Chain A
Amino acid sequence: MAGSTPASATASPAGAPPGGPGGAPAARAAQSVSPWTEAWRRFKRHRLAFWSLWLLGTLVAAVLLGPLFYKVGINEVDFSAKLSTPSWKHPMGTDDLGRDILARVLYGGRISLAVGLAAMLMAVTVGVFIGAVAGMARGWVDAALMWVTDLFLSLPQLPLLLLLIFLFREPLKAAFGLEMGIFILIVVVIGGFRWMPVARLVRAQFFSLREKEFVEAARALGASVPRQVVRHILPNSLGPVIVAATIDIAAAIIAESTLSFLGLGFPPDIPTWGRILYDGRDYMDLAMHWALFPGIAIFLTVLTINFIGDGLRDALDPRRVL
C-alpha cells in the first residue's frame, strides 16, 4: 500500500513518497547532507520533541544557573513564614519549617539531573560492553551473557534496589562521605538495573552489522577485532543506543525520586525532588504547593525527556517499530 506512517503519533504526518507505484524517487534537489543534518531535520519535524528540547534546556539552565541569581538558602528556617503559599518572596511557597521551596527544588534538580546522567552513563557503558562482547563473540560466550542478561531482567527491580541501598548505605557513607557515598550507591544500583535493554539492542545491532560488507572489507584489510568494533560497528549502532539512553535518563530520575519518596534514597536532609514530595504529602490539604511543585518538576523533566527520546527515535532509528 502506498504511504508509510512513522511510529510516533506526536510527529507531524509526513506523507512519505510511496514505494511501489511509479517508482518515483523523492524529487529533492540532490544535496549531499550528512546523516546528522538529516537526522536533525527529521527531529525538527517532531514538534513536541522540538519544543521539549527547549523546555528541558530551560529547566536545566534554571537548575544550574538559578542558584547564582536566586540566593535563598535551602535550609533557612523561618517559622514565621511556615506553610505560606506562593508569593513574590517565596515563589513556590514554604514548607512547615519556613524553608523556601523554590530553592530546595532547584537544589534537588541538580541532584536529579546528576543522578539521571550518571546512571544512564553507567547503564550505557555496561550495556554496550556486554552487548558488544556477546555480539562479536557469539557461541557459548554469547549464550552465557544472554542468560545473565535474562536473569537480571527477571529480577524484581524495586525490592532489590531497596535491599541493596539498605545494606550498603553505611559502608559507602563511611568510605566516601555522606552525599558522595549515597550518590555512588544510587547511581550504581539504578544503572545496574538498566543495562540489559541496552545490551540486547547492541547485541542485535552487532549481529546484523557484523556481516555487512564494510565490516568484511575492514577485516580483509587486516583490521583486528577491537578495531573493527570501535571504528566500524559501534558508530553505526549508535542510533538506537542514543534513543535508549535518553529514555534511561528519565527512568533513572523516576527511580531516584521513588527511592527518596520511600525514604531510602538520599539522607532526609538533602532535598531531592522525591524527598520534598514525601515531606509534603501529609500537608496536601493545608499546603498543597509543597508537594505539587516538586511533583510538577519531576513530571515536566521526565515528560520532556520522553518526548525528546521519541523525536530521536524518529530521527535516528526510522524503522517504524516501537
Chain B
Amino acid sequence: MAAAWSDRAPLPNSAIAHSSTSAPLLNYIIRRLLIALPSLLGISLVLFTVLALAPGDPFEDLANNPNVPPEVRMALRAQFGLDDPIWERYLRWLGSMLQGDWGFSFVSRIDVDTLIGQRIGVTIAVIGMSQLVALLVALPVGVLAAVKPYSWFDRIASTLAFVGFSLPTFFTGVLFILLFSVQLGWFPFVYRADLSSTGWQWWVDQFKQSIMPIMVLGLFQAASWMRYVRSAVLDVIRLDYVTTARSKGLAERTVINKHVVRNALIPVVTLVALQMPAVFGGAIVTEQIFRIPGIGSLLIDAILRNDTPVIMAVTFVFSCLVIFFNLVADVLYGWLDPRISYR
C-alpha cells in the first residue's frame, strides 16, 4: 500500500560520516552494517517477546499433538527451556539460531532450515523479478509524466497509478486468473516447482507460470513508484542546476536523463526501501493465490497448522530480508549522493 507521507522521510539511521581518505564508500557500508545489527537484534527480541507473551503456551499444543514423538517433545521443551525466565529463553533461542540450528518442523518432519532453503529461492525470484518490472515501468512513465505535467499522458498515467495501488493484490490476482487462465487459457494458475520439461521448454513453462504473479506484484509496486518518481522529478526539474545544464547547450533529453533523473532517484530510493516490508506482504498474498511454494505460503501454512518453529524462523527470515534491503537502500543512497559518503 502506498504509504505516502508528505514529509520527505529521512533516511533510516543516517549517521553523519567522517570523511576518510581511503575508500569512503566502503567505510560508509561498514558503518551502516554495524547499525543494522542492533536493529536485527531488536526485531528478534520483539519477535521472541511476542511469542513468549502469547497466552496459551504454543508449545502446549505441540505437547498434546499426537503426531509429535515424545523424544521430540522433550527435546523441544529442553531447547526452548519453557520454564526458564524469558531472557534466558531468548538468549538460548538466539544462540541456537545463530549457530544454524533452527529447529525442527513438526508438520513437515524436516529441519526448518532445510525447509526454508527449499522455498526461499522461489520467493526471492518472484519478488526480484517483480521489482524489476516495477522499475522498468515506473521510471520512464514517471519521468515522462513529470516532464510534461498535466499533459494527457500525465493525467492518464497518474490516474492509472491511483487505480493501480487501490486495487488490492488479491483482487488483481484473482482477476488475472479469471482472464488469462480461465477465459484465455494462456497461463496455468497453479505454480509447479517441479516442472518436467527441460531446456528451452523449461524456460517457456517457467515464464508462463511466473508471469502472472510477477505482474500482479510488479504493477502494484509500479503504481506507487511512478508517483514517487513523478513527484521527485517535478521537484528536481525546477532547480537551478537544471537551468545551468540547459544553458550549456545540452539537448533536453540529455538534461533530463543525465542531470534530473540521477538526482530524482535519491529520494525515490529511500521511499522504495521503506516500502519493502509491504512488498513482502504482497508476496505472501500472491503466493497464496497462485499457490507458489515460497516462504510466504509456508508461513501461512505454518500458522494455520501451529508449526511454531517454522513460524519463528520464517518471520525472522523476513525481518532479515527487510534489514538487508534497508541496507542496500542506504548503500545505494550513499553511492548516488556524494554528499552522504563524504560528510
Using CB atoms and an 8 Å cutoff, list the residues of chain A in contact with chain B: 1, 4-5, 7-10, 13, 48, 150-151, 153-164, 166-168, 170-171, 194, 197-198, 200-201, 204-205, 240, 243-244, 247, 250-251, 254-255, 257-258, 261-264, 274, 277, 281, 284-285, 288, 291, 295, 298-299, 302-303, 306-307, 309-310, 313, 317, 319-322
Select from chain A the residue with minimum beta-carbon distance to B170.
A261
A contact residues around B289 at 8 Å (CB): 281
- Per the bound structure, the CA–CA distance linking A168 and B54 in Å amounts to 7
Whether B56 lies near A299 (C-beta < 8 A) is no
- Per the bound structure, the CA–CA distance linking A150 and B6 in Å amounts to 17
Whether B234 lies near A320 (C-beta < 8 A) is yes
Whether B4 is near chain A, meaning CB under 8 Å from some CB there, is: yes
B contact residues around A164 at 8 Å (CB): 50
Whether A201 lies near B5 (C-beta < 8 A) is yes
Q: List CB contacts (< 8 Å) of B1-31 with chain A.
A: 1-10, 12-13
A contact residues around B166 at 8 Å (CB): 250, 299, 302-303, 306
- Per the bound structure, the CA–CA distance linking A306 and B235 in Å amounts to 22
- Per the bound structure, the CA–CA distance linking A317 and B149 in Å amounts to 19
SS class, residues of chain A in contact with chain B = helix
- Per the bound structure, the CA–CA distance linking A111 and B238 in Å amounts to 45
Whether B139 is near chain A, meaning CB under 8 Å from some CB there, is: no
- Per the bound structure, the CA–CA distance linking A284 and B238 in Å amounts to 49
Whether B228 is near chain A, meaning CB under 8 Å from some CB there, is: yes
Whether B319 lies near A155 (C-beta < 8 A) is yes
Whether B168 is near chain A, meaning CB under 8 Å from some CB there, is: yes
Whether B158 is near chain A, meaning CB under 8 Å from some CB there, is: yes
Query: Mind listing 27 A-B residue pairs with CB under 8 Å?
Result: A7-B231, A7-B234, A9-B159, A154-B39, A155-B319, A156-B315, A156-B319, A156-B322, A157-B278, A158-B280, A159-B281, A162-B299, A163-B51, A240-B7, A243-B6, A261-B288, A264-B303, A277-B174, A298-B171, A302-B168, A319-B6, A320-B235, A321-B235, A322-B4, A322-B5, A322-B227, A322-B228
Whether B303 lies near A299 (C-beta < 8 A) is no
Whether B42 is near chain A, meaning CB under 8 Å from some CB there, is: yes
Taking residues whose C-beta sits less than 8 angstroms from the other chain, chain B's interface range is 35 or more
Selected contact of B12 from candidates A10, A154, A156, A307, CB within 8 Å: A154
Whether A244 lies near B168 (C-beta < 8 A) is no
Whether B303 lies near A258 (C-beta < 8 A) is no
Whether A244 lies near B6 (C-beta < 8 A) is yes
Contact A250/B1 with A151-B46, A284-B174 known, Cβ cut-off 8 Å: yes
A279 to chain B, nearest CB (A): 12
Whether B231 lies near A251 (C-beta < 8 A) is no
Whether B1 lies near A254 (C-beta < 8 A) is yes
B contact residues around A197 at 8 Å (CB): 3, 5, 9
Contact A322/B170 with A9-B149, A284-B177 known, Cβ cut-off 8 Å: no
Nearest first, the 6 closest Cβ-Cβ pairs linking A and B are: A158-B281, A9-B158, A156-B318, A167-B54, A303-B166, A295-B171
B56 to chain A, nearest CB (A): 6
- Per the bound structure, the CA–CA distance linking A156 and B157 in Å amounts to 30
Question: Which residue, of B7, B165, B174, B281, has the highest number of chain A Cβ atoms within 10 A?
Answer: B7
Select from chain A the residue with minimum beta-carbon distance to B163.
A303
Q: List CB contacts (< 8 Å) of B144-197 with chain A.
A: 145, 149-150, 154-155, 157-159, 162-163, 165-171, 174-175, 177-178, 182
Whether A153 lies near B165 (C-beta < 8 A) is no
- Per the bound structure, the CA–CA distance linking A86 and B220 in Å amounts to 30
- Per the bound structure, the CA–CA distance linking A195 and B52 in Å amounts to 24
Whether B3 lies near A258 (C-beta < 8 A) is no
Select from chain B the residue with minimum beta-carbon distance to A296.
B171
A245 to chain B, nearest CB (A): 11
B177 to chain A, nearest CB (A): 6
B157 to chain A, nearest CB (A): 8
Whether B54 lies near A151 (C-beta < 8 A) is no
Question: Which residue, of A9, A155, A167, A307, has the highest number of chain B Cβ atoms within 10 A?
Answer: A9
